[in-house]
Amino acid sequence: MMSVLYDLNMPIGGILETSFNEKFDQHGTWRREFALRLKLLAQWLKDQDMLNAAVQDRLQRLETQIRIDKVMVAFVAEFSRGKSELINAIFFADYGHRIMPASAGRTTMCPTEMGYDPEIPPCLRLLPIETRLQPQSLMDWRMSPEKWERIDLDLNQSKKLAEAFAKVAETRRVSLAEAHALGFWQSSSPDNSVLPDAGGQVEIPKWRHALINIAHPLLKQGLVILDTPGLNAIGAEPELTVSLVPQAHVIVFILGADTGVTQSDLSIWREHLVDDQDASTRLVVLNKIDTLWDALDSPAQVQAQITKQQVHTAGILGVPASQVLAVSAQKGLVGKVTQDTALLQRSCLSSLEDALSQGIMGRRHKILSDAVTRGVSDLRVETGRILQIRRRDLNEQLLELKGLYGKNAPVIKNMRARIAQEQAEFDAGGIKIHAVRSVHMKLLREIFSLLGAATLKSEMSQLTLELNHRGLKLGVKTVYGETFARLRNNLQQVHAKCQEIRAMLQASFTHLNTEYGFSLQMPEDPTVDPYVRDLDLIERGHLQYLGLGNALKLAQPEFADRLVRALATRLRTIHDTAVGDIEVWSKSAASQLDAQLRERRKNFVRRLEAIDRIAQASCGLDERIADVNSRDIAMDQMELKLAELTDHLMHMTTSSRVVNDTKP
């Protein structure tokens, strides 16, 4: 079988020279191979009766991580910067012509997400702009597919595909009052609004959001492309800038090489793209360098102009010059379609593709493989503990049986009575375990309540009330800060309750290990630090909307309502993630106890059965000892097989990480 390991052991230079598309394909191959190996491991564990709740939960989390792993690339730019053309050149050149609308003027008028869901037929779904007048968030609207206009796509006819995609550029003309209600007109700030025509109407997007589901090879492997409109549309949709764009693994910010950094470009950058994340998640593209090509200037002079523009742009935006790439998307697309190598090389498109492949795929693959490595390591510990319990029980049985050599019937009868007494005492000890579990579940319910939807709504109620007040909201920053302070305090309470659970379980585990020879170990403690950091990032990300520059926009009830709903959606995601992680930690501890209790009860039954058989036949002792020895040999084989299966998974992650970490 051609495995991903073969691909990952290719010469390093070969991989480093691959385009983003090829790099993503390698990542997809690795994911598919890993998922297959994981499925084989799960089936083997099930056959060996080792698939307890904790092991099954870890396998499911690993499988889910691999299956739904997404890589989002967000393209952000003001109108007419060639953003859609760049998407065509990088991802869709194989179609032979433009797929995304990229004509002169405003093209993508609504945020457009391209991805793949095998459960949905190929289609374009469009959410009417009028939904902005209703309170539901974009996330809520996603749950109501019947509210979207759906256009089925024929992937075998690229021209019809392009015609369907052109609908994202559709507009409609409305009165100033309707434009104001939808967030596209501010009478107090007409300079930042679209201009009315002679009839007093303004042009606005026809659609609020677009979802494209197609089985493009890259999209099938988990790539999600987010194509965003210009400043006016971005600023009117808070959920886009506080939820979707920040979740992108890399943001490509496109400027025009012919215009440089304009005031509207700078507004997008400062208001929506500057944050405290790793600066390498931002790539700046100076597009349309072909406009600088001049027959009167030498290639060296042209390159000097481009380099000067790159350095100047880097200085204005405050990023390293190495992250400002100059390309011609239009010439790159033409070069690919016509197979004009010279034109493609002159377009410098490959430099951007290299940056994407090394930046996005290298970092994303490393994050995923690190998470998988931790998951497989935890899985090995969990399954290894089950085998350890079984081997210990076998050794106890063997010593017990060998001690019966030469013993008469009364001795054997007394031994059976002693085992039965041990079993009764063990069962009686279950009352204490039940009491510990009751306290454990009580604390867990308190944790889940702190992170639940009702608590979040309560903590945000004051902020919601403040934002929904009409007029200027001068005290909203104070209320905003107080809200996040309470949310952070809730997380600290969650941490304290987790520590309380840990201390209680640790005491119980120590007692059981001493009293019954168990090998219970507390899993690694959960930490709330990542969630606190996420809260900090969200708090800083929303501050842009609370300053004086957005005071007039914030005074609009519709905009304020959308803002608070976008915030609630993002916070709910953090809480849900925290609940999931704590639940896994709790299950890991509880499942250990369940597994060892179950194995000990099985051991009592086996010991009693062995004594009964020995008492009934003189040859029973030798047969039982032989049976235990054969089971011990089988245990050796199981340990070797488990090591083989998990070693292969570990080798896949470490081998791929070495290649992806290598720099040219």
> Do 580 and 515 share a structural domain?
yes
Joined tokens for residue 57: 């939960």
Helix (H, G, I), strand (E, B) or coil at 134: coil
Q: Is residue 158 part of a domain?
A: no
Among 192, 138, 144, which Cα is nearest to 570's? 138
Strand, helix or coil at 251?
strand
Please report whether residue 140 resides in a domain.
no
Do residues 107 and 36 both lie within one domain? no
Q: What per-residue confidence (pLDDT) applies to 315?
A: 92
Q: What is the mean pLDDT of the chain?
A: 79
Same domain, 258 and 375: no
Note whether 256 and 342 are same-domain residues: yes
Sign of CA dihedral 23, 29, 32, 36: negative
Of 42, 107, 116, 30, the residue nearest 66 (C-alpha): 30
For 79-222, list the strands marked E by DSSP. Answer: 112-115, 123-128, 149-152, 171-175, 201-205, 207-213
Query: What was the pLDDT predicted at 428?
Result: 79
Of 584, 601, 616, the one marking the end of a domain is 616
**313: three-class secondary structure by DSSP:** helix
Per DSSP, the three-state class of 455 is helix
Look at residues 347, 367, 391 and tell me which one is the last residue of a structural domain.
Answer: 347
Helical axes 409-428 vs 430-450, angle rounded to 10°: 30
Is residue 453 located within the same domain as residue 555?
Answer: yes
Residues 584 and 632 in one domain: no
* Pairwise CA distance, residues 282 & 126, whole Å: 28
- Please identify, among 300, 317, 347, the residue that sits at the C-terminal boundary of a domain: 347
Give the chain's domain count. 3
- Is residue 86 located within the same domain as residue 221? yes
CA distances from 436 to 431, 519, 663 (A): 9, 18, 52
Domain of residue 635: give its range. 13-69+356-402+620-664
pLDDT of residue 143: 86
The reply to whether 633 falls in a domain is yes
Which pLDDT does position 123 carry in this prediction?
Answer: 93
658 lies in some domain:
yes
What percent of the chain clears pLDDT 90, i.e. is strictly above it? 17
**pLDDT at 4 (0 to 100):** 29
What is the DSSP code (8-state) at residue 260?
A: B
Burial class, 243, CB count within 10 angstroms (exposed 0-12 / middle 13-18 / buried 19+): buried
Residues 643-658: pLDDT tens digits?
888 888 877 766 554 4
Whether residue 236 sits in one domain with residue 103: yes
CATH number of the domain within which 266 lies: 3.40.50.300
Residue 420 lies in a domain: yes
378 and 258 within one domain: no
pLDDT of residue 212: 92
Asked if residue 419 belongs to a domain, the reply is yes
Model pLDDT for residues 103-149, shown as the tens digit of each residue? 655 555 788 898 888 888 999 999 999 988 887 878 888 888 899 99
Q: In the numeric block, which tokens belong to residue 275?
A: 């944050």
Length of the chain: 664
List the structure tokens of 95: 């179609």
Q: Tell me the two tokens of residue 6.
A: 């073969």
DSSP state for residue 241 in the 8-state scheme? I
* Cα 191 to Cα 110, 264, 273, distances in angstroms: 21, 11, 22
Cα within 13 Å of Cα(283), Cβ side = 23
**Does residue 159 lie within any of the structural domains?**
no
Q: What pLDDT score was predicted for residue 551?
A: 65
Give a yes or no: residue 180 inside a domain. no
> How far is residue 464's CA from residue 564's CA, in Å, rounded to a whole number?
6
Could you tell me if 417 and 269 lie in one domain?
no
Same domain as 462, residue 394: no
Give pLDDT < 50 ranges for the chain: 1-18, 190-191, 276, 657-664
In terms of domains, do 418 and 550 share one? yes
What is the distance between the alpha carbons of residues 175 and 164, in angstroms, rounded to a whole number? 27
